[in-house]
């Protein structure tokens, strides 16, 4: 359920302004004091900072990177753009849409141009398999009613048909915890064989590294959330010049610019406030702090007093998805020569190859992006950027001879190797939802937590904003 913005502002306005901290962080005098320190300048942090400023609080945003946006990251290529982070906003992304509109960022619905582009080519064992031959192909392990379905459609269909959740928020209810088993166990119970699961899920994973290490309950949550988006309207919004325009505008609207290059190494929550120390020696104090860090990086920050119990377990063990993306320029539309779709779904090291259509016309392909996930992303990360670019070009040219000499890999981005994310979206392993989902974001003294991984009703960009509102509600009680 969405937070009521009017209620938030009214409640906060009634809270008295807190006195500034006078004590020092981690045993030394702080260089600066403020009302609230927000750790991280991604969507969650910027939204939290904006809400706090609207009710008169002094806010300092600290960001370790040299840019704002967190996991929202637009790149420019071939006169157009693409997204390395948050891709799109569905019709039910009320908070995200509002954030764009309030900051005068133009949105447009690009779903029609992608839908009209058709399904990607299926590539197995390095060869393109014609869609009209797939049903009877010797490589097709599926049986009725899924025999004619493409591999990427099978697991989502089985999950949707067996999903016990009526609402996306039901996954955190104790009554749902009996479903917190592995996705593999669920798919097997639905009658799928190991060979079917391997092709339908493990070949290109959406979460984790295989169906064995992801919670079926989390996948039910994802399905319920996606279903809700479709029920609102079949829409995929994006910012006209890239989604980074949204976070850049949010940052520019703050009274104080976020401090970049401030890598937090220690957070001390005391009886009357919070002290923060950064790697460069900078020290800050406030009545409260809101931490947006994914647990994959928070586990490397010294938190005092130490987190305990289920919350500590969450910070130390919650996995985050490994994603490595390669941006590719096409020197010519080689797909017109071979008559195939430029996008591909493969069982090889390039994973999925997606044609981007952010140009002036619906038919224009501005670039291609290869997505490697899970263990495949780890493999590319071990190769390094130069060898990864060479491998991706070699693979495309081998699969599509018409692409010979026509493709150039221009950029590699690994979310797994990013020191400030160490992965992309959160992945709940079997048993982890029941173990800590309702405890992982509880306040720790005057330290509060948000971020997409702590959202309980929404996912993606909307989840990040939802979690920020909860954290602000909690923080204004003490400031």
The pLDDT of residue 2 is: 41
Mean pLDDT by 10 residues, the chain (479 residues): 43 36 42 91 98 97 98 85 88 94 93 84 97 96 97 98 97 98 98 98 97 98 94 89 95 97 95 94 97 98 98 98 96 96 97 88 88 97 98 98 97 97 97 98 97 96 97 93
Among residues 177, 130, 174, the alpha carbon closest in space to that of 150 is found at 130
The pLDDT of residue 270 is: 86
| CB within 8 Å of 354: residues ≥ 6 apart | 120, 343, 368, 369, 370, 371
The pLDDT of residue 16 is: 36
The pLDDT of residue 11 is: 43
Q: Looking at the whole model, is its pTM more than 0.75?
A: yes
**What b/e string do you get for 316-346 counting C-beta neighbours within 10 Å, with b at 16 or more?**
eebbbbbbbbbbbebeeebbeeeebbbbbbb
């Amino acid at each position: 359920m969405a937070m009521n913005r009017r209620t938030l502002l009214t409640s906060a306005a009634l809270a008295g302004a807190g006195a500034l901290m006078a004590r020092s962080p981690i045993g030394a005098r702080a260089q600066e004091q403020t009302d609230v320190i927000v750790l991280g300048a991604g969507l969650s942090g910027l939204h939290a900072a904006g809400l706090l400023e609207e009710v008169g609080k002094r806010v300092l945003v600290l960001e370790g990177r040299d840019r704002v946006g967190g996991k929202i990251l637009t790149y420019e290529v071939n006169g157009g753009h693409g997204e390395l982070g948050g891709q799109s906003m569905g019709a039910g992304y009320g908070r995200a849409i509002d954030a764009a509109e309030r900051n005068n960022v133009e949105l447009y619905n690009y779903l029609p141009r992608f839908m009209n582009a058709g399904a990607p080519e299926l590539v197995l064992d390095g060869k393109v398999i014609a869609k009209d031959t797939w049903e009877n192909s010797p490589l097709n392990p599926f049986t009725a009613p899924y025999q004619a379905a493409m591999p990427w459609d099978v697991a989502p269909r089985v999950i949707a048909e067996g999903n016990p959740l009526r609402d996306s928020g039901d996954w955190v209810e104790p009554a749902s915890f009996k479903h917190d088993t592995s996705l593999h166990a669920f798919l097997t119970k639905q009658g799928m064989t190991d060979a079917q699961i391997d092709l339908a899920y493990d070949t290109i994973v959406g979460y984790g590294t295989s169906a064995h290490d992801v919670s079926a309950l989390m996948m039910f949550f994802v399905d319920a959330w996606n279903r809700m988006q479709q029920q609102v309207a079949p829409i995929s919004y994006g910012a006209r010049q890239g989604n980074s325009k949204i976070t850049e505008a949010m940052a520019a609207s703050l009274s104080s610019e976020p401090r970049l290059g401030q890598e937090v190494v220690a957070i001390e929550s005391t009886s009357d406030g919070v002290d923060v120390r950064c790697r460069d020696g900078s020290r800050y104090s406030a009545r409260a702090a809101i931490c947006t860090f994914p647990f994959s990086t928070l586990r490397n920050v010294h938190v005092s007093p130490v987190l305990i119990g289920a919350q500590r377990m969450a910070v130390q063990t919650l996995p985050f998805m490994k994603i490595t993306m390669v941006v590719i320029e096409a020197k010519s539309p080689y797909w017109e020569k071979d008559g195939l779709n430029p996008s591909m779904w493969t069982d090889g090291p390039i994973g999925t190859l997606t044609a981007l259509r952010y140009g002036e016309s619906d038919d224009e392909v501005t670039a291609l992006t290869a997505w490697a996930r899970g263990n495949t992303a780890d493999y590319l990360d071990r190769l390094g950027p130069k060898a990864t670019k060479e491998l991706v070009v070699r693979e495309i040219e081998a699969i599509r001879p018409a692409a010979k000499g026509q493709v150039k890999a221009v950029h590699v981005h690994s979310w797994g190797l990013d020191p400030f994310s160490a992965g992309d979206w959160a992945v709940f392993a079997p048993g982890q939802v029941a173990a800590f989902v309702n405890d992982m974001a509880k306040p720790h003294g005057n330290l509060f937590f948000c971020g997409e991984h702590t959202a309980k009703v929404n996912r993606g960009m909307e989840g990040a904003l939802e979690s920020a509102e909860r954290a602000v509600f909690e923080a204004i009680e003490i400031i």
